[in-house]
Amino acid sequence: MVNRAIEEMVTSSHGEEVWDQIKQQAGVDIDVFISSEGYSDSITYGLVGATSDALGMPPGQVMEAFGEYWILETTKRGYSDLMASGGSSLREFLLNLPNFHARLSMIFPHLAPPDFLVSDVGDRSLRLHYLSDRASLTPFVKGLVQGLGKMLATPVQVELSVAKDAGADHDEFLVQW
């Protein structure tokens, strides 16, 4: 599903030809990604790297744009009810985030979902803790939360306050709205 969404994001703005070049550069010879199938993470990282080269955007910027695209476009295809059940305000959605992917494990048997925790919850801010074995997805999470802000018409500021890249055991974001 993730690989398909990257494909849709690229083809909708840059066309099929650019996507074919990206797949070729990433050494991916899969014609059609099947949503319910599990694929190696290296395919996804390869596609992001090749997209970054083809579009002349740093990989972090591609990941951030992809996070927004995922929330604002991908989840519309068959997951509107699930997204609606996440909450009707940004605050409520973020508080529900730790349990969100549990409901998806039935649909995606190979799912290795992220771990989210929230702390320091106020009326207009909280700290979002993101724990993952996967590398370099920090900008993706920033884009996801920005996408949630847009979806729920709530201007939001997302600041990485503790970084796994700098040696911490997980990423922590200060989210203010």
Shortest-Cβ-distance residue relative to ligand HEM: 132
CA 31 vs CA 41, 92, 155, 172: distances in Å: 17, 39, 38, 37
Question: Judged by CB under 6 A, which stretch of 10-18, 20-28, 50-58, 132-140 contacts ligand HEM?
Answer: 132-140
Per-residue b/e over 118-127, b at no fewer than 16 CB within 10 Å? beeeeeeebb
Asked whether position 9 contacts ligand HEM by CB under 6 A, the answer is no
Instruction: Considering the complex, state which of residue 19 and residue 93 has its C-beta at the smaller distance from ligand HEM.
Output: 93
Closest CB 3 distance from ligand HEM, rounded Å: 9
| Residue from 28, 43, 90, 144 in contact with ligand HEM (CB under 6 A) | 144
Instruction: Considering the complex, state which of residue 14 and residue 101 has its C-beta at the smaller distance from ligand HEM.
Output: 101
Asked whether position 87 contacts ligand HEM by CB under 6 A, the answer is no
Eight-state DSSP code of residue 105: T
Instruction: Considering the complex, state which of residue 4 and residue 14 has its C-beta at the smaller distance from ligand HEM.
Output: 4
| Residue from 76, 77, 124, 134 in contact with ligand HEM (CB under 6 A) | 134
Taking residues 15 to 34 in sequence order and writing x for each that binds ligand HEM by CB under 6 A, - otherwise, the string is --------------------
Amino acid found at 34: I
Q: Are strands 125-131 and 115-119 parallel, antiparallel or unpaired?
A: antiparallel
Which residue in this structure is represented by tokens 């997805």? 137
* Alpha helices, H only, the chain: 2-25, 41-55, 59-72, 80-85, 90-100, 138-151
Q: How far apart are CA 152 and CA 85, in angstroms?
A: 13
Taking residues 92 to 121 in sequence order and writing x for each that binds ligand HEM by CB under 6 A, - otherwise, the string is -----x--xx--x---x--xxxx-------
Q: How many residues does the chain have?
A: 177
Q: How far apart are CA 64 and CA 142, in angstroms?
A: 6
Site residues (CB under 6 A) for ligand HEM?
1-2, 75, 79, 82-83, 97, 100-101, 104, 108, 111-114, 132, 134, 137, 140-141, 144-145, 148
